[in-house]
Amino acid sequence: MRATQDPAVDGRAQRILVYGVTGSGKSVLAARVAALRGLEHVAVDDLCWLPGWVQVLPDEQRRRMAVVCARDGWVLDSAWGVWSDLALARADLVVALDYPRAVSLARLLRRTVARVVDRRPICNGNTETLAQSFSSESIVAWHFRSFASKRARIAAWEADPDLPPVRRLRRPRETAAWLQQLAAAAPHAQAVS
């Protein structure tokens, strides 16, 4: 996708889905894009996890996300399979972080270690523990189980003319350059760090 045809840069995109492999930095990017565009950042994990790491039931996830996706403007920081069709049906743009495993896994491991050490609460007060980080249900294990399928999904979305355009970013430096374009096009937006 050429920058001159990028609906986020030129202001046309009001509903942006940030998608990518686990650990790629979707939430951080979504927050930055939302700030630059003056849109609501929707933290998907807050809507799909309850306290105690209890996952919201699929029907309730769909209900919650249907309400979000019906809004005029948003930046989602992920799309879970059970409701991704709702987001894709309304999105004006998909920003896909398709980083190599070495990049996303290194980021994920740094983030996980930091969260275990400082016990910072995430998504509805949940915290990551050392035992959880080495379990078969850990976010690190999920990275390995989902990596190939998420990359394949990005490629399929990009190739499908019936879906929103996909801005596929393969390296952090591409993402940084794209954010600079976005910032230059929106000088009134809040500063991003």
d(CA 86, CA 62): 8
Collapse the DSSP code of 76 into the 3-class scheme (helix H, G, I; strand E, B; otherwise coil) and give the result: strand
On whether the CB atoms of residues 56 and 47 are closer than 8 A, the answer is: yes
Task: Return the domain boundaries, the chain.
Answer: 3-181
Sorting pLDDT into bands at 50, 70 and 90, what band is 5?
low
Q: CA angle 147-148-152, nearest 5°?
A: 120
Residue 188 pLDDT: 53
- For residues 138 and 9, the model is more confident at 138
**H helices present in the chain, as ranges:** 26-37, 44-48, 58-69, 84-90, 101-118, 130-133, 139-159, 172-185
Sorting pLDDT into bands at 50, 70 and 90, what band is 9?
confident
Mean pLDDT of 74-94: 96
Fold topology of 3-181: Rossmann fold (3.40.50)
